[in-house]
Amino acid sequence: MTDLSNSLAAADIAHSLHPYTNARAHEDQGPMIISRGEGIYVWDSNGKQYIEGMAGLWSVAVGFSEPRLKAAALAQMDELPYYHTFTSKAHAPQIRLAEKLVEMSPEALTKVFFTNSGSEANDTVIKMVWYLNNALGRPQKKKFLARNKAYHGVTVASASLTGLPGNHTDFDLPAIPVTHLTTPHYWRFGAQGESEAQFTARLLKEIEDTILAEGPETIAAFIGEPVMGAGGVILPPEGYWEGVAALCKKYDILLVADEVINGFGRLGTTFGCESFGFVPDIMVLSKQISSSYMPLAAILVSDAVYNAIADNSAKIGTFGHGYTGSGHPVACAVGLENLKIIEERDLVGNAARVGAVMQAELARLADHPLVGEVRGTGLIAAVEMVADKAARTPFDAKLKLGAKAAEFCNEQGLIVRAIGDALALCPPLIVTEDEVREIVARMERALDATQAWLAAEGVI
């Protein structure tokens, strides 16, 4: 519990409006103030240590307080603390990072545009796609296909692509033409008696039927996370992404891979699209690109996308889009050093090897009385609680059981994220086998405490 007499806590309550927070509840409870971090651990202002089981916000690949990233930032601050990339201006960190990203990415992706966040990047993708289709004489081809439970950002356009009610309610969203399709989650949305292959076929038919009903000449792009993150860590059914890619090719629809969470090793492969056997026309990257030490995101596009944009910029005289911080030299220098660390320490391989241990350890929790499904791959996972395991019946939403279970995790010294009644895990890529065993042990104790609380409340 936060000490509300703490001057920092009092100042926070007095002056801050927090993202993804019940503001009135925050006034009563106050903040958890994180004072420092090292490796996979953080400490609060009371000195309590936690395993940061979410790598901050799915993002601190190399762990906290990595000295090489600090040194990279300071060196760049000394040399060139800021410059922009407008009107053909450039600097070495931006050039070298773009070069590195193209080298790392699927061969079809050849050009890079930098932003400061995934939300800005997905907003930029929307504008790029509209600009491109106008240039190609296809003014009707402006609609997007996304999925329910998708997360693509919180700015007006990117939040429209997001498929979560909390990001739409009372924000007057969606504000762009987008159709949200069935969440590709077989355990939750598979019909009675339906096999996984049949579920995949049904979802692909839904996509094709939607394309035909709307008119292929109106559908600009399909956007998706290879593994859905903030919607609950949802893995696609077998054959899903290959089918989506085939439909996009058939109907001349751009395929956008939102790799903001998946990218740079999270799934045990460099990018999520590699895990599921497809190559996108556009790929969006952020979070682990700099371990979130600096705000940074990147959009990679194919030659076809680039050439249409470039030709139109020649016709108009400019590509009239960009941010003050696009390709910020300090952010790019940190990003370059971060990617060097990921490669030198084989953190992608570590995610695969240690991720297999984490998934095996978590699988044991499927026998816990509260657990309906354990799902994940690499170093990302979720444990979902249900009232009835056989029927997969969720608990009454009014209980806010996920949030309660996350509090019990905090008591055990483990920070997770509650997504409904699922507890998400996404530890830094540097995590060890012993550390993931400790993470699972702490989560198991928290689940036991949650079960005891439900019993004391007379719910079970």
* CA nearest to 386, candidates 371, 399, 397: 371
Residue 199 and residue 58: Cα distance in Å, rounded?
Answer: 29
> Is the previous residue joined to 174 through a cis bond, with omega within 30 degrees of 0?
yes
Q: What angle do CA 143, 146, 149 make, to 5 degrees?
A: 150
Bridging pattern class, strands 41-44 and 49-52: antiparallel
pLDDT digits (tens, 9 = 90+) for 135-165: 999 999 999 999 999 999 999 999 999 999 9
Residue 121 and residue 114: Cα distance in Å, rounded?
Answer: 8
Other Cβ atoms less than 10 A from the Cβ of 358: the count is: 25
SS3 4: coil
Q: What angle do CA 140, 165, 253 make, to 5 degrees?
A: 25
* CA nearest to 374, candidates 393, 396, 389, 395: 389
Tokens 């699972």 sit at which residue? 440
Bridge partners (DSSP) listed for residue 376? 381
CB 93 within 8 A of CB 76: yes
8-state DSSP, 394? P
Residue 429 and residue 265: Cα distance in Å, rounded?
Answer: 8
The full DSSP string for 293-346 is SS--EEEEEEHHHHHHHHHHHHHHS------TTTT-HHHHHHHHHHHHHHHHTT
* CA nearest to 273, candidates 203, 321, 224, 325: 224
What's the pTM value of the predicted model, to 2 decimals?
A: 0.96
The full DSSP string for 335-371 is HHHHHHHHHHTTHHHHHHHHHHHHHHHHHGGGGSTTE
Q: Quick one: how many helices (H) and strands (E) in the chain?
A: 16, 15
Q: Which stretch of DSSP H or E encloses residue 241?
A: helix 240-250
The residues near 22 (Cβ < 8 Å, ≥ 6 apart) are none
Any alpha helices (H) in 84-117, and if so which ranges?
92-104
> In tens digits, what is the pLDDT along the chain, a chain of 460 residues?
456 557 999 999 999 999 999 999 999 999 999 999 999 999 999 999 999 999 999 999 999 999 999 999 999 999 999 999 999 999 999 999 999 999 999 999 999 999 999 999 999 999 999 999 999 999 999 999 999 999 999 999 999 999 999 999 999 999 999 999 999 999 999 999 999 999 999 999 999 999 999 999 999 999 999 999 999 999 999 999 999 999 999 999 999 999 999 999 999 999 999 999 999 999 999 999 999 999 999 999 999 999 999 999 999 999 999 999 999 999 999 999 999 999 999 999 999 999 999 999 999 999 999 999 999 999 999 999 999 999 999 999 999 999 999 999 999 999 999 999 999 999 999 999 999 999 999 999 999 999 999 999 999 9
Which tokens hold the place of 218?
Answer: 């109106």
Residue 163 and residue 312: Cα distance in Å, rounded?
Answer: 31
Other Cβ atoms less than 10 A from the Cβ of 27: the count is: 11
Which tokens hold the place of 4?
Answer: 């509300």
Domains of the chain: 32-62+346-456 (3.90.1150.10), 68-344 (3.40.640.10)
* CA nearest to 149, candidates 63, 224, 66, 237: 224
Which tokens hold the place of 413?
Answer: 């010294």
Q: What is the per-residue pLDDT for 3?
A: 61
